[in-house]
């Protein structure tokens, strides 16, 4: 039995979960609404505020889907109650980030600006305090979409290993290289 798949999901107050005939799970909460289509073999049952995900057989495919869909539904429940937040830091001289609404404007040391239009499900805020690196703060109820957008922003200027310049997540530890001056000694 999948350890992740067999773990029950407790439904907090204020959250409603409905499963349609086409095996589409809809989670509604105070922060929004999310939907996820499940595989036809996976069943979801709800009893006294506890949601369980079950699989029909012990096939490898069913075991994989069992844990996957349980995690996706749990992420949806957490998203509509608490939400998700990712912070990214711009490390480098002259790197800037500004936003107007859901449009993010990045200056990353190239000859041009990157203007990044974010999906409407994501809210963005930027900070630029004196003496600190500029920060991009992304918030959403959809964990998958938020991670995908954050990875796309990071890919515009991936941190390099020598000076550490680029876009990195706050709290991320980069492996640094010594460079060629250290090899001559």
More confident position, 184 or 163: 163
Of the pLDDT bands very low, low, confident and very high (cuts 50, 70, 90), residue 1 is very low
Arithmetic mean of pLDDT, 121-149 = 94
Residue that the structure tokens 């706050």 belong to: 170
3-81 CATH fold:
Outer Surface Protein A; domain 3 (3.90.930)
**Is residue 6's pLDDT more than 80?**
yes
84-169 CATH fold:
Outer Surface Protein A; domain 3 (3.90.930)
Residue 149: closest CA among 90, 85, 100 = 85
Maximum Cα–Cα distance across the chain = 70
The torsion angle over the Cα atoms of residues 60, 62, 67 and 70, rounded to 10 degrees, is: 180
CATH 3.90.930.12 residue window(s) in the chain: 3-81, 84-169
Residue 33: closest CA among 77, 71, 85, 74 = 77
pTM reported for the whole predicted model: 0.88
pLDDT tens digit sequence for 47-100: 988 999 999 998 999 989 999 999 999 999 999 999 999 999 999 999 999 999
């Amino acid at each position: 039995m999948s350890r992740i798949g067999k773990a029950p999901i407790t439904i907090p107050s204020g959250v409603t979960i409905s499963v349609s005939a086409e095996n589409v799970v809809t989670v509604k909460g105070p922060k929004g609404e999310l939907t996820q289509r499940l595989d036809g073999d996976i069943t979801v049952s709800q009893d006294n505020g506890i949601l369980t995900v079950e699989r029909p057989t012990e096939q490898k495919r069913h075991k994989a889907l069992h844990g996957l869909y349980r995690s996706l539904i749990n992420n949806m429940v957490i998203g509509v109650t608490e939400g998700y937040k990712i912070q990214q830091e711009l490390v480098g001289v002259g790197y800037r980030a500004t936003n107007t609404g859901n449009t993010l404007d990045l200056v990353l040391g190239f000859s041009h600006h990157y203007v990044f239009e974010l999906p409407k499900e994501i809210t963005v805020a930027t900070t630029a305090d004196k003496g600190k690196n500029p920060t991009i703060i992304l918030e959403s109820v959809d964990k998958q979409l938020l991670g995908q957008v954050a990875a796309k922003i990071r890919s515009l200027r991936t941190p390099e290993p020598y000076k550490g310049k680029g876009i990195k997540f706050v709290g991320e530890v980069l492996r640094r290289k010594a460079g060629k001056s250290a090899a001559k000694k």
